[in-house]
Structure 1
Amino acid sequence: MVSRVRVRELVKAVSISASCRCPAHGGINQIYRNNHEQSKEEIPQTDYAFEMACSSVRYGPGVTKEVGMDLSNSGARNVCLITDENLVKLPPVKAVLDSLHKYRINYKIFDKVRIEPTDLSFSEAIEFARSNSFDAFLAVGGGSVIDTCKAANLYSSDPRADFLDYVSAPIGKGKPVTCLLKPLIAVPTTAGTGSETTGVAIFDYVPLKAKLGIANRALRPTLGIIDPLHALHMPERVAAFSGFDVLCHALESYTAIPYNQRSPCPVNPIERPAYQGSNPVSDVWALNALKIIQRYFKRAVYNKDDLEARSSMHLASTYAGIGFGNAGVHLWFRLCLVLLCKIPEDVTLMPHGLSVVITAPAVFRFTGAMCPERHLEAASLLGRDTSNDRKEDAGVILADILKQFMSEMEIEDGLKEVGFSEEDIPELVKGTLPQHRVTRLAPRPQNEEDLAKLFEDSMSVY
């Protein structure tokens, strides 16, 4: 049997060789000091463990044709197919229906999904699901469709639940999911949200004009079918905005506080959140997503028939989804949520990818000082030679790379160009404050003045 002294020596050796030494990432040695030396009865102030959870995924051109076989294999007899009014007429849904018909799968279609769903549109889908005896769910579409399908599955599986029971605190009760959900297959048609891998569903809460979420590992799809042929149907702007969604997911999950600095420590593992903070497993997925983005993002936007580029970005979306689905996101996501809820009345819609990237340069300038090594590593993977760069410049360097990507993709020059003004900043700050689910994961704390400055710096980007 290995002695305790030898075990301590091994842990110390691993921590010295493998851990990040920046202020925000203490590594394994910090876990050991903070947690393992405490008495068994004492609950640590911060967490000491992370969990790896994601959907099973299947990737390949034309793989959608297998969905009917999957449902038949699972014994499904009555399937809820959720999509939107546009997609129901397009090739991805046709491919799904062909497979369902071929394998004689009974189904009903709900196609009233709202882009940027609300509590009202979620409730409509939930009522549809509760009114039928579905034994499986199938989502065909982007993040809005998949998130709506997750909510319909959850609340139809717990028919007595009130809507706010599972919504994240402090607005909702944030109850853990203890009921058994039905199988859910997700077929993403955009290369952005990564929702096919995550246990998160995002929506606008109309009463407060705020973006909220339902986050629990139980929500994640049973299977994500990533068919790159569907990515060929994305218009240029959709490819650009969804690509920035992937980029920001990867960057924020990699720069979030480490899991062993997140508090409070759960008393019961069922209470451990889906968004845990950066960790060695989520890091792998986030970094590989950045490598793909550097090589294929621009090609995927401006060459819609480039199957290699669009396939790669479709896969990068899944990679980043696994990364942030376990680590979480932080400050840019917090800002984008309030932007989507408080867009000016004369602006019909702000694409999600635009809302996340338009404040990203300001955010990473702000967070760079807290974990400069990670900001510089991300910059290197996105194409910059950082060998002679200083740590104190890390945030500015990463921000400049983001601005270059934005310029190449012809993204609007800041919040002013999409209808906001300095007069909106107090209301934007007010709307940002309740987003505690992601606030705690930011590597640098923020007060109201910091948030106001981030919005101010995002009024013009270039």
Structure 2
Amino acid sequence: MTEYLNETVFTWGGVPLKFGAGAVDEIGHDLGQLGADRVLVVTDPGIAEAGIAQRVADAATAAGLTVGIYDRVHVEPTDTSFAEAVEFAGQSEWDGFIGVGGGSSIDTAKAINLLTTYPGELHDYLNKPIGEGKAPPGPLKPLVAVPTTAGTGAESTPVCVLDMLSLKVKTGISHPRLRPSLAVVDPLLTLGLPPEVTAASGMDVLCHALESYTAKPYDAFPRHTPETRVAYCGSNPISDLWAEKAMSLLGGAFRRAVLTGGDLAARTDMMMAATFAGMGFGNAGVHIPHACGYPIAGMVRDYVPSGYPDAPLVPHGQSVSLTAPAAFRFTFPTDPARHQRAARLLAPDTTPHDDPREQLPSVLAALMRDIGIPSGLGEVGYGKSDIDGLVDGAMKQQRLLAVAPRPVGADDLAAIFLDSFENW
């Protein structure tokens, strides 16, 4: 048998999907098919107040299921909020879970599922070098994800993300067993989202698609064994298809969804883009913008965004977008044609920039400006004196930086952060 030094195999995993207006009302039937009788709805106070969580619970109850609700999910969850949610869930026996909300609720539901099925320390499962990176020892219970934002794609990914408060950095858990059993995606649930949330969530979708599309190719990684092959395996032909379709949908719908709000067609395309981008990056991975976004969110001091709880916060979608123009300038030499194609998919009617290297960054900056994303790190409260701390936090994200299409060192990250204080 021929021995190969580089990888010759890629894996692609997906979540069964139910998509469309009114899909959420069928959730009781879906849970019954998965064998769940006692289910816990996991959501945040805003979704609970809007009545969406109760609507999901009522649909499950009508099908004969016993339903509880945990409605104290922290927006941008932390190690502390995960612990509180797990403690609550552990007071009763559940044989299934429903995550209702944005990525915060769905990721919290994933953590509850893991840590109540296999009780242990959160640290054991966190990605290295922050945690031990251990795999779940066996299958998890059924988990149905019901996204209410076109954002994280958490309904189709094998990861959950959190802030480590003591370290002031984001990290996560990554393993195929964390993927939900079913994604129920209903565009009607997003019609009431504030424009600021729509904009930030959508930038997360966009970065998912772009980062997975420009990731290091799977066959450029060292050869893996079946035991060592990771969930984020690099760009591959199947993930590329999902990323391209997500970018095409975003190019037509993103501005409309933010600026008009009630455009159901635009909201539908955004939800589809979020799910498709999740199917891409949930296998290929993400890289520099997400690695930089984690310390940007984790080190926040006094920036309070509109449309979110009245507390210091850089929403995840904002945090990953702020360094995206600079990051894609950095990665451009690895595959100029791919970067230019991404720019055309996102802005098919825009005259390309004279400098090919600037085509994608200029498309991103124009979109971000139009939908109200902060202009750069300076607008969310950072100064040049923060660069060392931001670099240190990003360097901790080696699982993500390993997916970048070229090596990324501390000096490279410092230059990217410096280039991101003002994007226009």
Fold shared, TM-score > 0.5 on shorter chain: yes
Q: Does 1:303 align with 2:263?
A: no
After alignment, is 168-177 or 141-150 more displaced? 168-177
1:421 deviation in Å? 0.6
Specify the alignment match of 2:212 in structure 1: 253
Query: Of 287, 295, 318, which aligns to 1:354?
Result: 318
Secondary structure of 1:274 counterpart: coil
Specify the alignment match of 2:156 in structure 1: 197
Query: Of 71, 83, 87, which aligns to 1:123?
Result: 83
- Once the two structures are superposed, residues 117-174 of structure 1 have per-residue CA deviations (whole angstroms, 9 ceiling, x without a partner) of 1111111122223332110011110000000100110111112x32222111112111
1:270 deviation in Å? 3.7
Secondary structure of 1:207 counterpart: coil
Specify the alignment match of 2:290 in structure 1: 333
Distance 2:350 2:76 in 1: 38
Supply the AA of the counterpart residue of 1:397: Q
Supply the AA of the counterpart residue of 1:422: K
Q: Does 1:222 align with 2:181?
A: yes
Supply the AA of the counterpart residue of 2:224: P
Distance 2:414 2:67 in 1: 49
Distance 1:386 1:409 in 2: 17
1:346 deviation in Å? 5.5
Distance 1:201 1:218 in 2: 11
Supply the AA of the counterpart residue of 2:9: A
Distance 1:227 1:107 in 2: 20
Specify the alignment match of 2:2 in structure 1: 37
User: Following superposition of structure 1 onto structure 2, how do residues 385-396 of structure 1 map, counting pairs within 5 Å?
Assistant: 393-396=355-358
Q: Does 1:378 align with 2:378?
A: no
Distance 2:419 2:15 in 1: 38
CA contact (8 A) 2:247 2:345 kept: yes
Cα 1:305–1:149 shift into 2, 3 Å: same
Query: Of 63, 72, 76, which aligns to 1:112?
Result: 72
- Once the two structures are superposed, residues 62-113 of structure 1 have per-residue CA deviations (whole angstroms, 9 ceiling, x without a partner) of 1111111122333322111100111112142232122123122112211111
Runs of 5+ in structure 2 lacking a partner?
305-311
Distance 1:158 1:394 in 2: 51
Secondary structure of 1:86 counterpart: helix
1:241 deviation in Å? 1.0
1:222 deviation in Å? 0.3
Secondary structure of 1:125 counterpart: helix
Distance 2:200 2:168 in 1: 23
Specify the alignment match of 1:274 in structure 2: 231
Distance 1:62 1:55 in 2: 19
CA contact (8 A) 2:196 2:372 kept: no
After alignment, is 338-347 or 116-125 more displaced? 338-347
Supply the AA of the counterpart residue of 1:396: E
Query: Of 49, 52, 61, which aligns to 1:101?
Result: 61
- Once the two structures are superposed, residues 184-227 of structure 1 have per-residue CA deviations (whole angstroms, 9 ceiling, x without a partner) of 00100000100000010000112222211100010000000000
Distance 1:164 1:412 in 2: 33
In the superposition, the TM-score normalised over structure 1's length comes to 0.87
Specify the alignment match of 1:140 in structure 2: 100
1:410 deviation in Å? 2.2
Q: Does 1:164 align with 2:146?
A: no
1:408 deviation in Å? 1.1
Specify the alignment match of 2:414 in structure 1: 452
User: Considering only CA atoms, is the larger Rg found in Structure 1 or Structure 2?
Assistant: 1
Secondary structure of 2:45 counterpart: coil
Specify the alignment match of 1:30 in structure 2: none
Supply the AA of the counterpart residue of 1:372: P
Query: Of 164, 168, 187, which aligns to 1:209?
Result: 168
Cα 1:397–1:156 shift into 2, 3 Å: same
1:178 deviation in Å? 2.9
Supply the AA of the counterpart residue of 1:403: A
Q: C-alpha root-mean-square deviation of aligned residues, in Å?
A: 1.7
- Once the two structures are superposed, residues 328-349 of structure 1 have per-residue CA deviations (whole angstroms, 9 ceiling, x without a partner) of 0000000001101011246511
User: Following superposition of structure 1 onto structure 2, how do residues 382-421 of structure 1 map, counting pairs within 5 Å?
Assistant: 382-384=346-348, 393-421=355-383
Supply the AA of the counterpart residue of 2:239: S
- Once the two structures are superposed, residues 398-430 of structure 1 have per-residue CA deviations (whole angstroms, 9 ceiling, x without a partner) of 001101101211222211111111111111111
Supply the AA of the counterpart residue of 2:92: N
Distance 2:352 2:132 in 1: 49
Specify the alignment match of 1:63 in structure 2: 23
Secondary structure of 1:51 counterpart: coil
Runs of 5+ in structure 1 lacking a partner?
1-35, 39-43
CA contact (8 A) 1:366 1:395 kept: no
Supply the AA of the counterpart residue of 2:346: L
Query: Of 259, 265, 276, which aligns to 1:319?
Result: 276
Secondary structure of 1:186 counterpart: strand
After alignment, is 314-323 or 110-119 more displaced? 110-119
Supply the AA of the counterpart residue of 1:59: F
1:55 deviation in Å? 0.9
Query: Of 241, 244, 250, which aligns to 1:293?
Result: 250
Supply the AA of the counterpart residue of 2:211: E
Distance 1:45 1:178 in 2: 30
Distance 1:406 1:398 in 2: 12
CA contact (8 A) 1:165 1:175 kept: yes
Query: Of 368, 373, 382, which aligns to 2:332?
Result: 368
Distance 2:369 2:353 in 1: 23
After alignment, is 63-72 or 322-331 more displaced? 63-72
Supply the AA of the counterpart residue of 2:138: C
CA contact (8 A) 1:262 1:440 kept: no
